[in-house]
Amino acid sequence: MPGYGLPRGTQGLMPWSWAENRLRKSHNYWLVTTRPDGAPHAMPVWGIWVDSVYYFSTGRKSRKAKNLAGNPRCVVCNEAADQAVIVEGIAEEVIDPRVIERLFAPYYAKYKPWKLDPKLGPIFAVRPRVAFGLEEAKSLGSATRWRFASPRRQPRKGSISAPLRSRG
């Protein structure tokens, strides 16, 4: 993070488990997509974090779905800005009925009486490429960046605590 005067090194960085815990527990998420003209589009959405992947659904004709059809790159953020987790990733529509069936129970448990229903609109999976974590109470010294190998779902070995401050 050039210009912030952060020290170099790994002291104070947060583990990936810190980020995943916040992503699992968030009730509302922010989804940022890109409109065809390049303008950003942000919307709150419901979703679930399962096996290091964020899943959500939306209407097929929604602006989110249209944006993702043209450009699958997106950003997902948890709801708590004081313990922010920002995930940059690629959204893919989930069409495998076995995967969709596996998502029913965790979605229903979180948003009862609502159900994850592919008949109502597409279900998307967002796999992280890079994620950032910032905890206000710990100041910017805890700012952490995690990089992910594609298509693996876990951070690359040796990069779980890759600091923002040393990589600019």
pLDDT for 145 beyond 50: yes
Peptide bond into 118 cis (omega under 30): no
- 80 within domain boundaries: yes
- 5 within domain boundaries: no
Specify the pLDDT at position 168. Answer: 35
Structural domain span for residue 34: 16-167
Share of the chain above pLDDT 70, in %: 81
Rounded Cα gap, residues 65 and 31, in angstroms: 11
- 145 within domain boundaries: yes
Specify the pLDDT at position 87. Answer: 98
Lowest mean pLDDT among 5-14, 53-62, 134-143: 5-14
Beta carbons within 8 Å of 105's beta carbon, 6+ residues apart = none
Specify the pLDDT at position 14. Answer: 87
Contact status, residue 55 vs residue 47, Cβ threshold 8 Å: yes
pLDDT band with cut points at 50, 70 and 90 for residue 137: confident
* CATH number of the domain enclosing 96: 2.30.110.10
Specify the pLDDT at position 13. Answer: 82
Beta carbons within 8 Å of 21's beta carbon, 6+ residues apart = none
Q: How many domains does the chain have?
A: 1
Report the mean per-residue pLDDT for the chain.
Answer: 86
- 8 within domain boundaries: no
Place of tokens 């290091």: 52
Tokens at residue 156, please? 């690359």
